[in-house]
Chain A
Amino acid sequence: MTITEAARIEGAAAEAPLDPEELARQRRRRTEKVARWVLPALVLVLMLWGWNRLVVVNEIPHYILPGPGRVWDALMDNLGSLMGSWLITVQITLLALLVAVVGGVGLAVLFNQSKWASLSIYPYAVILQVTPIIAVAPLIFIYVDDVNLWLFTISDKIVGMLICAWIVAFFPVLSNTTLGLNSADHNLRDLFSIYGATRWQKLRYLQLPSALPYFLGGLRIAGGLSLIGAVVAEFVAGTGGVGSGLAFRILEANYRLKIDLAFAALLLIALTGVLIFAVLSLVSHLALRKWHESAVSRET
């Protein structure tokens, strides 16, 4: 290759790549990037339009099915009180998620460290998980009582809701973290033994980092489940007045045939679920982006 030839190729590379296959691929990628946002938005607009037509054309009364405009108005008119309820539901959900994480990881570590504990308790963790929460919740509310903490008191309703949400949410954390703790590389385990690592060092430096991707996968599931648990518990508990969450607002609105308000509350619950999932996905991505295959971007 002569120098001028090399210069020509270099010059061509500096300009836009002319390979038609490559061009088509880039075009496809650009289209896909736009479509990812435009298409769902389009579906949303179509659905709202169809919903509205359905209500208007059939003259459906608003206490059976309100149109989207009416739901929006209900949301705006009651924004203050709905936000208050939203905060309560979010508090229960996040508290339950926190307890689920602490309980799930704690039990997973216990099971991992003690074969005896694992053999004796694990079957009951499974039973707790597979029994439908909606069937257990009424019983729970019979037995719980106010909890007096040093500075403040947690009401029995809140305690019951926490327990319900926790029962639903802790299992994916427990089972995923257990899997993760057991998935540490066998040669690395041998290496730790050869270097005389203590049990604690093995757990801290080898097993917990190995379990992190599994734990984060479980956490994303648990986030959604703790919201479900909180909503189910609220339905069962039926807290009225001050301190009622979004689920109770739905019940209340149904009784009073304010279906638009029920839809508004439902919308908030759905958005909350999406928000929790998005935040946990972001956390997962940030924690793993440096090293785990699920989070690193492909070079090519």
Chain B
Amino acid sequence: MTAAEDLPAAGGATSAAHAERIAGAAAARRRARPPLLAIRDVTKVFGRDVVALRGMTLDVRQGDFISLLGPSGCGKSTALKLISGLIHPTAGRIEWLGGASAQDGDLGVVFQEPTLMPWATVAQNVWLPMRLKGRSFAACRAEIDEALATVGLAGFEAAYPRELSGGMKMRVSIARALVTRPRLILMDEPFAALDEITRFKLNNDLLEMRAKLDCTVIFVTHSVFESVFLSDRIVVMAARPGRVIRELTVDEPYPRTEDFRTSADYAAHCRETSAALHEAMGDAPHDDH
């Protein structure tokens, strides 16, 4: 039994047509993916009584693109920190499955800020995860160049971060996260500080990169539109205490292009997700109110 099935809301509150789609072939394929990470009833309490996250359960399968969507204080970032091993659960378990582990280069992280070392060049920044494993720059050169080419920054190896625009810095940050070919990439609102045009472009490029690298992504965001465009699973979370209230699926095939952004299906998913988010924030956006 998976998390998606545990949650009655996944199909219950929506249209019959949508429920059919969920039961469709895409969903079956998704469930057939091998498991990567199991989050089992995880609770994190800071201090004595600040419950940052309560009873979170989530099965992450290889190839998933999961968005954690919710208002501030819903425990999205806490969940990412727990998965990355920076903090440990007060209760519950987080297990890596299928031979993966956070320490063996199987995990890449992208923060809201580009978080680059200003004293190091673009190439040296991308080198970091491998440098910390004791590998020399020369030995990593090919991987660094490939990662930079993947994010569209070939030719900028020798530039310093201050010479780059916000979007380009974020691309360096993404290159650093994927240079070790991780099986899981955690992204904590990576595009929130960027302008809309850059953000759309990076969303498109991110899907392309993921298709090429075939990795799993957990993506934290505030944006309904971003979560629908990018992910095949959306975990809607509520605050005080932080908890999962609903899991939605976006059964639309990849690759997704600009056409998807303007399609009726996209609009329907956005409406549904938006309703779930309003529920998470404690106000129902019904017309009869």
Contact = CB atoms under 8 A, between A and B. Distances in A.
Interface stretch (A70-78, A127-135, A201-209, A245-253): A201-209
A187 B132 contact: no
Interface of A: 185, 187-188, 190-197, 201, 205-206, 209, 212, 290-293, 296
Nearest to B104: A196
A290 B113 CA distance: 21
A187 B111 CA distance: 7
A195 to B, nearest CB: 5
A233 to B, nearest CB: 37
B141 interface: no
Contacts of A209: 117, 119-120
B2 interface: no
Given A188-B115, A188-B117, A196 B103 contact: yes
Given A290-B160, A291-B160, A291-B162, A192 B115 contact: no
A152 B107 CA distance: 57
B7 interface: no
By DSSP majority rule, is chain A's interface helix, strand, loop, or mixed? helix
Nearest to B176: A191
Interface of B: 81, 84-86, 102-103, 107, 109, 111, 113, 115, 117-120, 128-129, 131-133, 160-162
Given A212-B119, A291-B119, A291-B162, A194 B102 contact: yes
Given A185-B115, A195-B129, 8 more contacts: A190-B109, A194-B85, A194-B107, A195-B132, A196-B103, A197-B132, A291-B162, A292-B119
B128 A195 contact: yes
B125 to A, nearest CB: 10
A187 B109 CA distance: 10
B117 A187 contact: no
B101 to A, nearest CB: 10
Contacts of B86: 190, 193-194
Contacts of A194: 84-86, 102, 107, 109
Contacts of A196: 103, 132-133
A194 B84 CA distance: 6
A197 B103 CA distance: 10
A158 B128 CA distance: 46
Contacts of B162: 291, 293, 296
Given A193-B86, A194-B109, A195-B132, A187 B115 contact: yes
B134 to A, nearest CB: 9
Contacts of B102: 194
